[in-house]
């Protein structure tokens, strides 16, 4: 198995447009809002909103161009709303670009037929920040759902009665130090344990790329580092491409050889992690370095005098 390569050119993606059902383990759903015009009222003739081009402020990704090679391990960082999740969903062929192009292994998924696009999506594992795990399901069953795309229909149905490949599920859970939860029910787990169960599902999947959205949000610092190491080791051992969005800047710089910084939907930097300085991180999260120092100094003096200057751990 070899990893997938990703690229995009002058990519624009609207925050509310073109959501499609995507790779295994995706929660992307179309908006359920009622159609309306700019005044909030539906068209009296058709009941639908007029078709208008999205404004720049409606774009989650703006004029983004980058390439990620097969088997690479890349972290994506940036403040909330920077476009990290949108980028992952676009690379998973879950969001159709508003403009520009996205390619997976040199194929534009939106120029493929439905069957070929589904086959391409089967090579992708998209893990959202909040895992969609049925609460009454056994952990073993939840993990092995990652195997369903490669199982026959008979095996998939029979596994609901008697668990198949339980050892595989145990090994994946054990990589995240929760092997003892194999036969527990999902609703008996903590938030951090549920998050690691969803990542164990990624490990058992027969995919060529893992697109992981903020996998550490419910984990303490010690577990966060261990979890990242398990994901990175698995991707390296199996030549899988790993793209991971993170808020933990220090962990991104310490574990990934390449880091992409997004700010307001635009690419601020794409660099080797050891070349990223504190000034670059300040600009990513606060604006210019000088303004960042002034703003943080004023905030620190009024709120917490212990904090002197911003660190990489935002």
- The reported pLDDT for the residue numbered 130 is 87
Taking only the tens place, the pLDDT of each residue in 288-298 is: 655 545 544 44
Taking only the tens place, the pLDDT of each residue in 210-245 is: 999 999 988 998 899 999 999 999 999 999 999 999
Residue with tokens 């909330």: 80
**Tokens found for residue 148:** 């369903």
- The reported pLDDT for the residue numbered 267 is 97
pLDDT over 70 (residue 286): yes
Section 248-255 average pLDDT = 96
Question: What CATH number has the domain bearing residue 185?
Answer: 3.40.50.300
Number of domains in the chain: 1
Asked whether residue 236 is assigned to any structural domain, the reply reads yes
Local structure of residue 110 (DSSP, 8 states): G
Section 282-287 average pLDDT = 93
Distances in Å between the Cα of 43 and the Cα atoms of 30, 49, 50, 145, 158 are 20, 6, 7, 43, 50
Instruction: Please count the residues of the chain.
Output: 314
Task: Tell me the pLDDT band of 1, cut-offs 50, 70 and 90.
Answer: low
- Give residue 165's domain range: 6-30+56-276
Taking only the tens place, the pLDDT of each residue in 133-179 is: 999 999 999 999 898 887 777 777 777 777 778 999 999 999 999 99
Asked whether residue 260 is assigned to any structural domain, the reply reads yes
pLDDT over 90 (residue 314): no
- The reported pLDDT for the residue numbered 293 is 55
Residue with tokens 């966060």: 224
Asked whether residue 77 is assigned to any structural domain, the reply reads yes
- The reported pLDDT for the residue numbered 16 is 56
Mean pLDDT for the chain overall: 82
Better-predicted residue by pLDDT, 293 or 270 = 270
Helix axes 278-286, 289-303, angle to 10 degrees: 70
d(CA 282, CA 279): 5
Asked whether residue 67 is assigned to any structural domain, the reply reads yes
pLDDT over 50 (residue 257): yes
Q: Hey, CA dihedral for 23, 27, 31, 32, is it positive or negative? A: positive
CB 29 within 8 A of CB 37: no
- The reported pLDDT for the residue numbered 25 is 43
d(CA 83, CA 79): 9
Asked whether residue 307 is assigned to any structural domain, the reply reads no
Taking only the tens place, the pLDDT of each residue in 36-84 is: 444 444 444 434 444 444 444 589 999 999 999 999 999 999 999 999 9
Taking only the tens place, the pLDDT of each residue in 173-199 is: 999 999 999 999 999 999 999 999 999
Q: How many CA atoms lie within 13 A of 123 on its CB side?
A: 21
Alpha helices in the chain (DSSP H): 84-91, 114-121, 139-144, 153-158, 166-174, 191-204, 221-237, 249-255, 278-286, 289-303
Instruction: Give the DSSP letter string of 234-266.
Output: HHHHTT-EEEEEES-HHHHHHH-SEEEEEETTE
């Amino acid at each position: 198995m070899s990893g997938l390569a990703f690229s995009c050119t002058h990519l624009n993606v609207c925050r509310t447009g073109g959501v499609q059902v995507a790779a295994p383990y995706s929660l992307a759903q179309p908006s359920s809002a009622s159609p309306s015009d700019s005044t909030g009222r539906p068209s009296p003739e058709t009941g639908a909103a007029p078709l208008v081009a999205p404004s720049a402020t409606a774009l989650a990704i703006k004029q983004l161009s980058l390439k990620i090679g097969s088997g690479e391990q890349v972290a994506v960082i940036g403040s909330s709303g920077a476009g990290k999740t949108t980028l992952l969903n676009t690379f998973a062929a879950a969001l159709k670009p508003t403009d520009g192009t996205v390619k997976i292994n040199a194929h534009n998924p939106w120029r493929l037929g439905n069957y070929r696009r589904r086959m391409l999506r089967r090579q992708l594992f998209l893990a959202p920040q909040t895992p969609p795990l049925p609460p009454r399901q056994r952990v073993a069953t939840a993990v092995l759902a990652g195997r369903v795309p490669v199982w026959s229909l008979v095996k998939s149905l029979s596994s609901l009665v008697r668990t198949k490949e339980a050892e595989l599920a145990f090994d994946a859970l054990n990589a995240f130090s929760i092997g003892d939860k194999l036969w527990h029910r999902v609703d008996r787990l903590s938030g951090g344990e549920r998050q690691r169960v969803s990542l164990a599902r990624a490990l058992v999947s027969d995919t060529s790329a893992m697109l992981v959205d903020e996998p550490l949000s419910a984990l303490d610092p010690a577990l966060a580092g261990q979890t990242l190491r398990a994901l990175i080791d698995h991707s390296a051992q199996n030549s899988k491409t790993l793209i991971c969005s993170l808020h933990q800047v220090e962990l991104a710089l310490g574990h990934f050889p390449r880091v992409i910084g997004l700010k307001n939907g635009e690419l601020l930097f794409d660099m080797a992690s050891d070349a990223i300085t504190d000034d670059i991180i300040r600009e990513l999260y606060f604006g210019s370095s000088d303004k960042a120092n002034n703003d943080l100094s004023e905030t620190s003096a009024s709120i917490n005098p212990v904090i002197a200057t911003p660190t990489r751990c935002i």
